[in-house]
């Protein structure tokens, strides 16, 4: 029997789980396409950015991951366009033909049309973003040690984190812990009182997807860490080192970390009519793109309204992507065997966010935790969600050092540009 060609565009949570499940079935010949040659774990990007983990702790090469699967291939390339009538996609490194095409491209930062914010802020979506942010923060600290003007020093030492979702809370909380326990030792030239961390959001609450109890506890813990939380503050512009809000207020800073929103990646070649809210691709209950016969979308990029518990679409969470990837693998196997297909139904396993050392909140089905218990649950779940045993061991080792010393030694300023 000829193997069915499956092309998967994107190797995040959704794509890697689909590929992994199909790789054990010799009915398929699978090609995974990604612009990076490695999978990475987005929930821990902020720990790379703050120097608590190495990039290699949360990353793993695709080719090594699938080196024992003879029906798996990896193609390094960035998707450019799909030609549905020809069952073909174009990437910047060549064309690929398919019997089944699956988009698992995830999302990118949404700057809501604010060009200055896009140009001048530091996003938090990729490993490159995390490393760039680490360099930026450390460079600003070094610059501040050489400046005597108090107004200029305060501007350099002020950090604004835009977006009070899980990423924004975790980034600002980690930075506050670092200022409290690390930077005072690394930079004795700086006074702690000069350092300001602002967490801002257009909404009136932090952690909008979580319970009211988690929101209130998180807000209290953030303020206890010395973070200035500004709610109902929508960023309007950022230029010349000044963040301007829609209410007219401003903050002078040379560091704006953008975690405020995401939008689906563009997919040229698909009709615009199949795009829903946030440019997400509308799919049926089997994750098939509406109006197509053999094109699917899974994870953050898709919008499904057939799940009765989520009529407005699923939250853009890792667990949704993982479950959709696995469900589609079952359906593709059933499809080639002419067996019934299964509609996707998301099983909500809860949400959690870490705030600082021994500080976290967790909303699990029917349960709520805070403090050390939530902190421990967060560590365990994220540790075992890493893709390989090697990643888990290295991450656990770094976490143990940080737990007992409140410190870490990965604060390197490494510029990717070659020396001249």
Nearest-angstrom CA–CA distance, 197 and 158: 6
Nearest-angstrom CA–CA distance, 94 and 332: 25
Say if strands 100-103 and 4-9 run parallel, antiparallel, or are unpaired: parallel
Question: Taking the CA of residue 355 as centre, how many other CA atoms within 13 Å lie in the half-sphere pointing to its CB?
Answer: 29
**pLDDT of 418 above 50:** no
Region 34-58: mean pLDDT is 92
- Which pLDDT score is estimated for 401? 76
Region 154-171: mean pLDDT is 95
Region 271-297: mean pLDDT is 95
Crossing angle for the helix pair 150-157 and 127-144, to the nearest 10 degrees: 160
Whether this prediction's pTM lies above 0.75 is answered by yes
Q: Quick one: which of 83, 108, 115 has its CA closest to 98?
A: 83
Cβ-contact 245, 392 below 8 angstroms: no
Cβ-contact 298, 287 below 8 angstroms: yes
Distances (CA, A) of 117 to 134, 202, 248, 303, 420: 19, 15, 16, 27, 31
Which is higher by pLDDT, 259 or 418?
A: 259
Q: In 145-252, which residue ranges form alpha helices assigned H by DSSP?
A: 150-157, 166-181, 183-186, 212-224
Region 87-111: mean pLDDT is 96
Could you give phi then psi for residue 240, rounded to 5 degrees? Answer: 55, 35
Region 53-82: mean pLDDT is 94
Q: At 399, which helix (H) or strand (E)?
A: helix 389-405
**pLDDT of 296 above 60:** yes
**pLDDT of 416 above 70:** no
Question: Taking the CA of residue 408 as centre, how many other CA atoms within 13 Å lie in the half-sphere pointing to its CB?
Answer: 24
Nearest-angstrom CA–CA distance, 207 and 217: 10
- Check for a shared fold between 4-35+77-109+262-336 and 115-260: yes
- Which pLDDT score is estimated for 209? 86
**pLDDT of 404 above 90:** no
Domain positions in the chain: 4-35+77-109+262-336, 115-260
Is residue 419 left, alpha or beta, with left meaning phi > 0 and alpha meaning psi from -120 to 50?
beta
Per-residue pLDDT of 224-267, as tens digits, reads 999 999 999 999 999 999 999 999 999 999 999 999 989 999 99
**pLDDT of 331 above 90:** yes
Class of the CATH domain delimited by 115-260: alpha beta
- Which pLDDT score is estimated for 396? 83
- Token output for 265: 């990646």
- Which pLDDT score is estimated for 195? 87
Which is higher by pLDDT, 84 or 388?
A: 84
- Which pLDDT score is estimated for 1? 59
- Token output for 154: 């305060």
If 0-12 CB within 10 Å is exposed, 13-18 middle and 19+ buried, where does residue 361 land? buried
- Which pLDDT score is estimated for 420? 45
- Which pLDDT score is estimated for 149? 92
Q: At 1, which helix (H) or strand (E)?
A: none
- Which pLDDT score is estimated for 419? 47
Which architecture, in CATH terms, is 4-35+77-109+262-336? 3-Layer(bba) Sandwich (3.50)
């Amino acid at each position: 029997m000829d193997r069915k060609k499956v092309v998967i565009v994107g190797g995040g949570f959704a794509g890697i789980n689909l590929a992994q499940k199909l790789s054990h079935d010799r009915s398929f010949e699978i090609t995974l396409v990604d612009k990076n040659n490695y999978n990475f774990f987005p929930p821990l990007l902020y720990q790379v950015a703050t120097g608590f983990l190495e990039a290699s702790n949360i990353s793993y090469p695709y080719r090594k991951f699938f080196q024992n699967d003879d029906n798996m291939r990896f193609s390094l390339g960035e998707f450019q366009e799909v030609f549905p009538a020809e069952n073909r996609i174009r990437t910047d490194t060549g064309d690929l033909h398919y019997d089944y095409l699956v988009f698992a491209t995830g999302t990118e930062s949404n700057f809501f049309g604010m060009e200055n914010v896009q140009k001048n802020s530091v996003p938090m979506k990729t490993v490159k973003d995390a490393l760039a942010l680490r360099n930026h923060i450390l460079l600003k600290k070094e610059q501040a040690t050489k400046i005597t003007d108090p107004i200029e020093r305060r501007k350099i030492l002020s950090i604004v984190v835009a977006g009070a979702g899980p990423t924004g809370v975790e980034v600002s909380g980690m930075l506050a812990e670092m200022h409290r326990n690390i930077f005072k030792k690394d930079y004795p030239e700086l006074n702690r009182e000069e350092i300001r961390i602002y967490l801002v959001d257009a909404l009136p609450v932090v952690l909008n997807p979580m319970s009211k109890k988690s929101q209130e506890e998180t807000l209290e813990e953030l303020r206890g860490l010395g973070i200035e939380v500004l709610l109902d503050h929508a960023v309007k512009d950022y230029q010349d080192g000044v963040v301007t809000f829609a209410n007219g207020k401003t903050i002078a800073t040379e560091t704006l970390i953008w975690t405020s929103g995401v939008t689906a990646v563009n997919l040229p070649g698909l009709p615009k009519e199949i795009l829903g809210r946030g440019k997400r691709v509308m799919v049926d209950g089997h994750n098939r793109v509406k109006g197509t016969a053999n094109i699917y979308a899974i994870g953050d990029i898709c919008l499904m309204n057939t799940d009765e518990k989520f009529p407005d679409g699923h939250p853009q969470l890792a667990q949704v992507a993982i479950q959709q990837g696995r469900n589609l693998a079952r359906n593709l196997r059933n499809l080639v065997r002419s067996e019934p297909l299964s509609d996707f139904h998301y099983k909500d396993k809860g949400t959690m966010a870490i705030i600082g050392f021994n500080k976290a909140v967790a909303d699990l089905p029917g349960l709520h935790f805070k403090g050390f218990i939530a902190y421990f649950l967060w560590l365990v779940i994220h540790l075992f969600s890493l893709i390989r045993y090697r990643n888990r061991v290295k991450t656990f080792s770094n976490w143990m050092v940080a737990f007992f010393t409140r410190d870490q030694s990965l604060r390197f300023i490494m510029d990717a540009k070659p020396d001249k």
